[in-house]
Amino acid sequence: MEIRFLTFGAACLMSCGGPAGETYDGRPMEELLSSLTLEQKVNIVMGTRRGEANPPEEAPGMPARHSHAAIEEISQGRIKGAAADGYSIDSLHIPSVIYADGPAGLRISPRRDGTTRTFYCTAFPTGTSLAASWDVHSVERMAAAIGEEVLEYGVDILLAPALNIHRNPLCGRNFEYYSEDPLLAGEMAAAYTKGVQSRGVGVSLKHFAVNNQETLRNGIDVQLSERALREIYLRGFERVVRKASPWTIMSSYNKINGVLASENTRLLSDILRGEWGFEGVVMTDWWAEENGARQQAAGNDLLMPGTQRQYDEILEGLRNGSLPEELLDRNVSRILKMIEKTPSFRGYACTNAPDLRSHGALSRRQAADGMVLLENRDATLPLAPGLRIALFGNAGYDTFVGGTGSGNVNRQYTVHIDEGLGNAGFTVDRQLAERYTSYIARQKSRNEAATFWAIPEIGEMPLTEEEVSRALSGNDLAIVVLSRMAGEGGDRQLRAGDYYLTATERSNLSLILHAAHSAGKRAVLLLNMGGIVEFDWSEPDFFDAVLHVWLPGQEAGNAVSDVLSGACTPSGKLPFTWAVRYEDYPSASNFPLSAGTDRAVRYEEDIYVGYRHFDTRGVRVLYPFGYGLSYTEFAYSDLGVERTDEGLDVHLAVRNAGRYPGREVVQIYVSTPSTVEDRPKKELKAFAKTDPLAPGESCVVRLSIPDSDLAIYDEDAGRWRVCAGRYLVHAAASVSDVRATVQVDIAQ
Ligand code: BGC
């Protein structure tokens, strides 16, 4: 059936930024649009509405009746396990475009009916681990490998990178996100976008915007100032749009100051397109089905995966005039222009054979580069070759490689930590290994099976004093792995076993520390989690070395061993602040909801997120933003800053002053003139990771800071402004470890 409503003339199309002058497949866009029925147009602005018929599910924050889990198993659609298919019209050469998650690697089903062939993808380290490497070049290389998997498995658009700010350490999806700082997060997401898109496939930068928690994610109203919105929550997105031109952007589920992100004309049209020049497609997050017509009118071009209700609402909007047809045409033409770039349109014959072996090697290197050495007393690490290790902790034998939800990857294998240690020539105590593996197998058989939303928790195996002393007396040192899982659909909890340690964990750690130290042996702690736990550790004894290994992807054990053995000198630094107590985080009293409200989250901390709060107000932290040790040491010298027409040019020399080869992450913070009120003490404005430096070797680091990055958002004037005055430029090894400062004057 063909449905037609009143159409507007070409003049109106032009004035609305419509498709006049544009083409699709060599044909004028207007001509193509006029050959489409209204029904076809409405179909083009949504996915093929897969998942609608799936059984209800109980996932926090998800509307009932739609199911990600069912997508996993769904056999319809061109690529099994992809998140959605687009609408196709063969006669007009409009192919069905395939959209699939996600940030740590391509997420599709590894098996398909009718073939014994497998379609595994590489599980790369998760977002926070990437950010902890502070290495935009390696992240871009890694993302190019993800792009290759996307291309060769027949997918067009990857639903990544995920760029929301770590506002609070309990956000369940922080592991997918990069940092508390918009510059670091934006640089990572830009590198990731460039890497994936270099393979001729697209990304969907998500979740736009201010999606900083999972609790009630479909319903919360985030209330924040324009300044916080611009300076903290949008700044990273702007960076990616300007530097890397993502093909698509995914709007978020939440409201921002009362208006749903997916229906937000100001966000999606005025700011994103008008101010930043975004030319791609905006899509909704999955089943963000508030009102199809309003979403379309706001510039949310594509409704994913689309539902019958949205379809009907669009038609009703066209009928009652709330959605002018030229706006629908505008959205259709944007989608068609994107489709033209896809492998599906080009008729690319995918091989289903990406180079998984080399991608595994890349995943291993990237994971090792992101690990953060937090403690290393008396040079406990690196370990001497061939040591005998008493390995404690479930995750030593069942290592977490990624989180749950759409960020999970169906990988071919996992190198657990015990296996990685063995591969590196260490010996893992066999008796302990047997105890742990049979304990884990027993617990798993009692637990429910892992689902899309959750991997059922297995409490730490309680240890006895005897077995710990036996293990320590027969081995050279203790390594303990402490782990936490998190994922989409729920936030982490302030409870023992999540943010806090359990009684069993405390008792195990005490026993191990005591046994190790009384036998004159060292104890090393590995943290296998996307974020942090609270160490309210009152005992005098602590671990000799602590290494944060994150959720490091499928090569976890090998990457951990590379760092422990010294094959790779640790060079990661924290992309967030680790507070002493949860209550010290400035968002603590407004997470996940503000007191007395059922839907509002007031961002009362304003721009003082993370180190902007701790550093400015002198609040003591456990580990500061940007902190991380190395096996070697670095000396900074000759810091110089020049004012140019575009901004500031910064240069300094870095020398490896220690005994191991290594790489340093140099951070440049800037303090705005003291005449400007209500500003953070200093803010990250540039960073660089050196190439490997041999002991005694130096290099010169050069960085540019454009004026746009020095600007602050002037709410009264409604624009960005570079304040005149005296700026302080700091070269630092972390926000709390400033090595040199120079001043520079910026005139009006
Ligand atoms: C998530 C997105 C994801 C999409 C498709 C949503 O629930 O929030 O990040 O890309 O599902 O799986």
Q: What is the pLDDT of residues 598-609, one digit of tens each?
A: 899 999 999 999
Q: Of 680 and 67, which is predicted with more confidence?
A: 680
- The CA 581 to ligand 1 mean position distance, Å, reads 31
Ligand 1 atom closest to the CA of 107, numbered from 1: 12
Q: Is the pLDDT of residue 10 over 60?
A: no
Q: Which of 50, 72, 159 to mutate to test the pocket of ligand 1 (most atoms within 8 A of CB)?
A: 159
CATH architecture, range 634-746: Sandwich (2.60)
213-223 pLDDT tens trace: 999 999 899 99
309-348 pLDDT tens trace: 999 999 999 999 999 999 999 999 999 999 999 999 999 9
Percentage of residues in the chain with pLDDT exceeding 70? 94
Which protein residue has the closest C-alpha to ligand 1 atom 7? 286
What φ, ψ does residue 497 adopt, rounded to 5°? Answer: 95, -15
Under DSSP, is residue 521 helix (H, G, I), strand (E, B) or coil? coil
The mean pLDDT value for 636-660 works out to 98
Ligand 1 atom closest to the CA of 407, numbered from 1: 9
Where does the pLDDT of residue 62 fall: very low under 50, low under 70, confident under 90, or very high at 90 and above? very low
What φ, ψ does residue 579 adopt, rounded to 5°? Answer: -75, 160
- In angstroms, the CA 423 to CA 270 distance is 55
Angle between helices 136-152 and 356-370 in degrees, nearest 10: 150
- The CA 460 to ligand 1 mean position distance, Å, reads 31
In this predicted structure, what is the pLDDT of residue 50? Answer: 63
Where does the pLDDT of residue 1 fall: very low under 50, low under 70, confident under 90, or very high at 90 and above? very low
509-542 pLDDT tens trace: 999 999 999 999 999 999 999 999 998 888 888 9
Across 3-7, 254-258, 368-372, 561-565, least confident range: 3-7
Structural domain boundaries in the chain: 7-50+91-102+127-344, 359-575, 634-746
Which protein residue has the closest C-alpha to ligand 1 atom 3? 406
Query: Looking at 85, 101, 285, 709, which residue is catalytic?
Result: 285
**CATH code of the domain made up of 359-575:** 3.40.50.1700
- The CA 612 to ligand 1 mean position distance, Å, reads 30
- The CA 119 to ligand 1 mean position distance, Å, reads 21
Ligand 1 atom closest to the CA of 207, numbered from 1: 9
In this predicted structure, what is the pLDDT of residue 71? Answer: 54
In this predicted structure, what is the pLDDT of residue 77? Answer: 75
Pocket of ligand 1 from Cβ distances under 6 Å: 68, 83, 101-102, 159, 206, 285-286, 406
Question: Quick one: DSSP state of residue 599?
Answer: S
Tokens for 1, please give them. 């059936």
- In angstroms, the CA 373 to CA 371 distance is 7
In this predicted structure, what is the pLDDT of residue 374? Answer: 98
- In angstroms, the CA 317 to CA 315 distance is 5
Other C-beta atoms closer than 10 Å to the C-beta of 551 total: 29
Q: Which of 62, 285, 302 to mutate to test the pocket of ligand 1 (most atoms within 8 A of CB)?
A: 285
List the helix and strand counts (H, then E) for the chain: 22, 29
User: pTM of the entire structure?
Assistant: 0.95
Mean of all residue pLDDT scores within the chain? 93
In this predicted structure, what is the pLDDT of residue 716? Answer: 95
Which protein residue has the closest C-alpha to ligand 1 atom 2? 285
- The CA 172 to ligand 1 mean position distance, Å, reads 13
**CATH code of the domain made up of 7-50+91-102+127-344:** 3.20.20.300
- The CA 234 to ligand 1 mean position distance, Å, reads 20
Percentage of residues in the chain with pLDDT exceeding 90? 88
Q: Is the pLDDT of residue 63 over 70?
A: no
Where does the pLDDT of residue 49 fall: very low under 50, low under 70, confident under 90, or very high at 90 and above? confident
Q: Which of 68, 150, 175 to mutate to test the pocket of ligand 1 (most atoms within 8 A of CB)?
A: 68
For this structure, is 329 an active site residue?
Answer: no
Q: Is the pLDDT of residue 185 over 90?
A: yes
Which protein residue has the closest C-alpha to ligand 1 atom 11? 286
Which protein residue has the closest C-alpha to ligand 1 atom 6? 286
Q: Is the pLDDT of residue 64 over 60?
A: no
Ligand 1 atom closest to the CA of 406, numbered from 1: 12
In this predicted structure, what is the pLDDT of residue 191? Answer: 99
- The CA 745 to ligand 1 mean position distance, Å, reads 46
Q: Which of 62, 79, 101 to mutate to test the pocket of ligand 1 (most atoms within 8 A of CB)?
A: 101
Please list, residue by residue across 330-361, b when 16 or more beta carbons sit within 10 angstroms of its beta carbon and e when fewer do: bbbbbbbbbbebbbbbeeeeeeeebebeebbe
